[in-house]
């Protein structure tokens, strides 16, 4: 059986590893002793280590067919993060020269006021984290080329990440008419599963956006999301007419590929799940 290393067994990495465990031996990392103990109890056949980018990877870490790096840059300086990610990828390549690298980036690399964007759109990062991701992407492409696949998801929602909480009660919010760019956990897990199980088909593409294809305005979506969950409504700046960006994919654009092709239409179900989770706590 092939091996996949998942660096970051968190909100996305853990359920993805569980989904892939039918096909791969799992090696993964967490920063928490408690989470390691919990995962090891449920998955005794997984190799799980407490590790982060500031730690040394243990020398006997298993060689892997696929290396998935899902570690956000928020707590690192740009150069430091980029260097650590590149060093990790090189270490894994030294263990197996033909390993395939999957780097989870973000559609934030496109900036905000850029209209419709696809995988081939020009990058225009605005936030510090987006600049860091662009720098890291560039260095990884230089080093790994055809063995690298960049995954750029839109905003991730699902389970505890109910979008109605994101802007509830806030005022003077920008870009009321801009598109909401989101993807539900269920959909990103299914699409990543498809990608990882078919490397010959997807790795040559180099980069893939993952975003639900249905579009709604920020004001319409987040107002309804808050209302359905009984949260304070957000207030948008109606004088801000900037269009924002609309993320699409040249690879995964068919609504039939998604359980939730329209985030707006899915909101009643998501709100019901959210209220139920609150009651259970």
Q: Is residue 200 part of a domain?
A: no
Domain residues for the domain of 69 are: 2-153
In a domain, 34, yes or no: yes
The structure's pTM equals: 0.96
pLDDT of residue 221: 97
pLDDT at 179: 96
Nearest to 17 by CA among 58, 35, 34: 35
Over the chain, what HEC string results?
A: CEEEEEECCCCCHHHHHHHHCCCEEEEEEECCHHHHHHHHHHCCCCEEEECCCCCCCCCCCCCCCEEEECCCCCCCCHHHHHHHHHHHHHHHHHHCCCCEEEEECCHHHHCCCCEEECCCCCCCCCCHHHHHHHHHHHHHHHHHHHHEEEEEECEEEECCECCHHHHCCCCCECCCCCECCEEEHHHHHHHHHHHHHCHHHHHHHCEEEECCCCCCEHHHHHHHHHHHCCCCCCCECCCCCCCCEEECCCCCCCHHHCCCCCHHHHHHHHHHHHHHHHHHC
| CATH number, residue 112 | 3.40.50.720
For residue 101, the cross-strand partners are 67, 148
Q: How far apart are CA 269 and CA 221, in angstroms?
A: 14
Residue 47 domain-assigned (yes or no): yes
Q: Is residue 268 part of a domain?
A: no
For residue 210, the model assigns a pLDDT of: 98
- Alpha carbon 128 to its chain's center: 17
pLDDT, position 281:
61
CA angle 264, 271, 157 (to 5 degrees): 65
Query: Does residue 88 sit within a domain?
Result: yes
Question: Looking at the 3D structure of the chain, how many domains does it have?
Answer: 1
How does pLDDT run along the chain (281 residues), one tens digit per residue? 999 999 999 999 999 999 999 999 999 999 999 999 999 999 999 999 999 999 999 999 999 999 999 999 987 888 899 999 999 999 999 999 999 999 999 999 999 988 999 999 999 999 999 999 999 999 999 999 999 999 999 999 998 899 999 999 999 999 999 999 999 999 999 999 999 999 999 999 999 999 999 999 999 999 999 999 999 999 999 999 998 999 999 999 999 999 999 999 999 999 998 888 777 66
Asked if residue 26 is part of any domain, the answer here is yes
């Amino acid at each position: 059986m092939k091996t996949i290393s998942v660096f970051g067994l968190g909100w996305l990495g853990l359920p993805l590893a569980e989904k892939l465990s039918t096909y791969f031996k799992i090696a993964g990392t967490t920063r928490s002793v408690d989470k390691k103990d919990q995962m090891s109890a449920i998955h005794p056949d997984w190799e799980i280590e407490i590790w982060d980018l500031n730690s040394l990877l243990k020398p006997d870490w298993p060689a892997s067919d696929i290396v998935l790096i899902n570690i956000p840059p928020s707590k690192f300086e740009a150069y430091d993060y980029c260097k650590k990610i590149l060093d990790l990828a090189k270490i894994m390549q030294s263990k197996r020269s033909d390993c395939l690298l999957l780097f989870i980036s973000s559609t934030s690399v496109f900036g905000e006021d850029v209209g419709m964007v696809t995988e081939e759109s020009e990058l225009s990062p605005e936030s510090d984290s987006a600049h860091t991701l662009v720098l890291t992407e560039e260095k990884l492409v230089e080093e790994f080329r055809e063995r690298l696949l960049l995954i750029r998801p839109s905003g991730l929602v699902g389970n505890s990440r109910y979008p109605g909480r994101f802007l509830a009660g806030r005022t003077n919010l920008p870009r009321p008419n801009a598109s909401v760019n989101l993807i539900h956990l269920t959909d990103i897990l299914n699409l990543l599963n498809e990608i990882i199980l078919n490397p010959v088909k997807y790795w040559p593409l180099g980069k893939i956006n993952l975003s639900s294809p249905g579009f709604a305005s920020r004001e319409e979506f987040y107002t309804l999301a808050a209302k359905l969950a009984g949260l304070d409504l957000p207030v948008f700046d109606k004088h801000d007419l900037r269009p924002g960006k609309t993320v699409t994919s040249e690879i995964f654009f068919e609504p039939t590929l998604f359980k939730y092709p329209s985030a707006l239409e899915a909101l009643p179900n998501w709100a019901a799940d959210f209220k139920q989770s609150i009651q259970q706590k």
